[in-house]
Structure 1
Amino acid sequence: MELSVQSAQRIVDEISGIVGQHINMMDERGNIIASTDGTRVGHFHAGAKRIVEEGLPELYVRPEDATPTVRAGLNLPITHGGRTVGVIGITGAYEQVIGYGQVVKKMTEILIREGNEQDEKRLDQRVRSRFLEDWVLGGGLLQPQVLAERGLALGVDITVPRRVMVVSVRDLALYTDTAAGQKRIDQLETAVSGLVEGEAGGIILRNAARQILLLRARPDAQMQAMAQRLCVMARERFGLRLAVGIDGGAPDVHRAYAQANKAWRSARMAPEGVLPYDSVTLELFTGDVPRQTKEEYLRKVFRGCTYEELRRWIGLLEAYFAAEGSIQAAADALYIHKNTLQYRLKRLEELTGCDVRRPSQAPVFYMAVLFFKEVEGSLLLMGS
């Protein structure tokens, strides 16, 4: 194991704050890689090199032996996995630091072990996420046997029949711009993971601000019940609304995900927020429309609008469609008077030449909302 500079500095700062002394950490080559005195980082520490090479239990540098790069103080070996991986140095007189030198050494070793365990856990999570992406999103389908073997090594049996659900927070942009909002999202995702993995025996893949839930095969009614349970939890515990798409029962996970994903795209505008694939209509073919065509469609419908203006119009339309065309319900959702909403809808008609209140013209705007949801992350040069 090789100590990382970032981890070493974090440990040095943490221990120094506890013992109130200057602390240095050296790697197994004797180089100072972290210190409470930033000017010392990068210098060679001969005493540390001696400890590693000679296997010394400790080395005290007396004041008369100190140099500009090696100061008076106690130096102790750091061991991990049965070998010396570095040296911790505590600046000060011997009688001042010897009393807690071994405590500092043990604290350092514990922090290094915990940091290494966290690194290994993060690595395992990345490996697992990569496997799930290959399996669910389709990258590994060309080698099913290899994929199955990888899964078994990670404790995932891909031969078990599963259903898929795609979940995300509705109105995500309202929360991601603040630390408090992002914290609520993180807490919700943790709660969803605990519920799905703990109680439902499921697997979760986080992808592009969504959670893809892989549940053991169950009837549609139980999938709906699980979705509703997640929505209630999100609303009551975190004050958040969810959009949930449920697959149509496709026999393989890759196709089931495609179904659930299309349902999820539509669920972001559905009044109840939960939509099964069997209820999806226009969304069935939007995935086949090129991104460039979607952007051009938005430019054409909302000609002359800036990107921010477009976002405001889309927000209004989402509320209108979620309210199933009810002016009062949409106005309530937007926190405006219904007369104000009527005025804005009239402005939208003047801008686009289409009236969303007319059934024959409403699909123009419904498609615009669907397209915007798929391309909002890109830079739309509206009006260019």
Structure 2
Amino acid sequence: MVRMLMDHYIFSEMEQVKERTLTFFLDEWFQLTPLSDTTSICERSKMLSIDIKVPRVIAIMHVHNMRKESSAPNESVEEFGRTIHNIFQMVLRTIDRANNDICVSTGNDMIFLINTPRIANALAKLTKIKAQIESKYFVSIFTGLSPVVKDFREVGSYYRYAQVATRVARESGRGFTLYDDLSIELLLSNVQPQIKQDYLSKVFDHCTDAEIREWTNLLSVYFQCNGSISATADQLYMHKNTLQYKLNGIHSKTGYDPRNRSDSVILYLAVHILLANSTIALS
């Protein structure tokens, strides 16, 4: 029995050393630029049996403690720390190390470098991991993915892309966000919540919460249909005259006409903020 405990302790220590070594390696790798001397990183990668020259997708998976938003008994910091550790150990058993995939844990985040030339392959792996975690633990998983890294010297830049995508995923409540899919989110990602709130207050001044909710749904469909009255009416199962009446109502109440190009930009931005930020109050 004592021998078994000793063997388990030694194995656990070795695993921790391996994880720290890998984390230090990634820290160094993320500091590279296209002008960096790559001699050291190439030598270390060989020692760790990591092929740094294959195409990879970088993903950051954030683990959010759902107990904070529920009536379930809250976990202490130490208890949630153990939960994070158990999740990470489960992920390590799941990822394809034979495929040269890499995963390290830092705080509430897990950083993946998945060996693949296609985003779809990485997304499929991460979707499976997300489902396994959320089926076993009372957490929500938010993940951001970088584009495919083709030059190992640019991995640091792509890691930052993954960070931006993860932040957008967390703020919008999306399970997955691809950096390549970001457009206006990229513009808004560094805007303070109070500034967004002030913008909404200006656009929807004197509007009720019910009106804002109805108009947000209507305008999101309207913008998806590129301003087509017929297509929007069909999507909303609404007569075209009724739709025009509602658009007139938005114009009358806010002062912005969705059918006017410059006004539509203002309304589009407001709708996007509301849809992407569920924590922002309507009024």
TM bucket (normalised to shorter chain) is: 0.5 to 0.7
Matches within 5 A, 1:45-194: 119=13, 121-135=15-29, 137-138=30-31, 142-171=36-65, 174=68, 177-194=76-93
Q: RMSD of aligned C-alpha atoms?
A: 4.1
Q: Which residue of 1 aligns with 2:106?
A: 207
Using the TM superposition, give the Cα deviation of residue 214 of structure 1 relative to its aligned residue in structure 2, in angstroms. Answer: 0.8
Q: Relative to 1, partners in 2 of residues 1:263 and 1:302: Cα closer, same or farther, differing over 3 Å?
A: closer
Higher relative contact order (CA 8 A, sep 6+): 2
Measured at CA, do residues 139 and 369 of structure 1 come closer, stay the same or move farther in structure 2, by a change above 3 Å?
farther
Q: Secondary structure at the match of 1:269?
A: helix
Cα deviations by residue, 1:44-67 (Å, 9 ceiling, x for unpaired): xxxxxxxxxxxxxxxxxxxxxxxx
Alignment identity in percent?
Answer: 17
Instruction: Report if aligned partners of 2:63, 2:141 keep a CA contact under 8 Å in 1.
Output: yes
Deviation at 1:212, TM superposition (A): 1.0
What letter is aligned with 2:146?
Answer: D
- The aligned counterpart of 2:183 is 281
- Offset of 1:216 from its aligned partner? 0.9
Paired letter, 1:194: R
Aligned residues: 207
Encode CA deviations 1:199-255: one digit per residue, 9 max, x unaligned: 754111223421111111142222222222122112222242210112222323323
Aligned partners of 2:142 and 2:173 also within 8 Å: no
Q: Distance in 1 between matches of 2:42 and 2:67?
A: 38
Unaligned runs of 5+ in 1: 1-17, 19-106, 304-320, 327-357, 371-384
Larger-Rg structure: 1
TM superposition shift of 1:301? 7.0
Give runs of aligned pairs for residues 22-61 of structure 1, distance below 5 A.
Answer: none
Q: Name 2:140's counterpart in structure 1.
A: 241
Task: For 1:221 and 1:278, locate their aligned partners in 2 and report how far apart those are by CA, in whole Å.
Answer: 12
Query: How far did 1:363 drift?
Result: 6.0
TM-aligned CA deviation for residue 149 of structure 1: 0.4
Picking from 226, 236, 259, the partner of 2:161 is: 259
Which piece of structure 1 moves more, 211-220 or 268-277? 268-277
Change (3 A) 1:176 1:264: farther
Equivalent residue number for residue 317 of structure 1: none
Q: Which has the higher helix share?
A: 2
Aligned equivalents of 2:33, 2:183: Cα separation in 1: 29
What amino acid sits opposite 1:235 in the alignment?
Answer: E
Letter in 2 for 1:211: M
With over 3 angstroms needed to count, the CA separation of the structure-2 counterparts of 1:187 and 1:114, relative to structure 1, is closer
Q: Distance in 2 between matches of 1:206 and 1:195?
A: 14
Aligned-residue offset at 1:190: 1.6
Residue type of the alignment partner of 1:138: Q
SS in 1 for 2:149: coil
The 1:190/1:162 distance shift into structure 2, 3 A limit, reads same
Return the offset for 1:273: 0.9
Q: Could you tell me how far apart the structure 2 residues matched to 1:110 and 1:227 are?
A: 34
- The CA distance in 2 between the partners of 1:121 and 1:191, in whole Å, is 14
Quote the Cα distance in structure 1 between the aligned partners of 2:54 and 2:86.
29
Judge which range, 197-206 or 208-217, deviates more: 197-206
Cα shift readout 1:24-55 (whole Å, capped 9, x = no counterpart): xxxxxxxxxxxxxxxxxxxxxxxxxxxxxxxx
- Alpha-carbon distance between aligned partners in 1 of 2:61 and 2:139, rounded to the nearest angstrom: 12
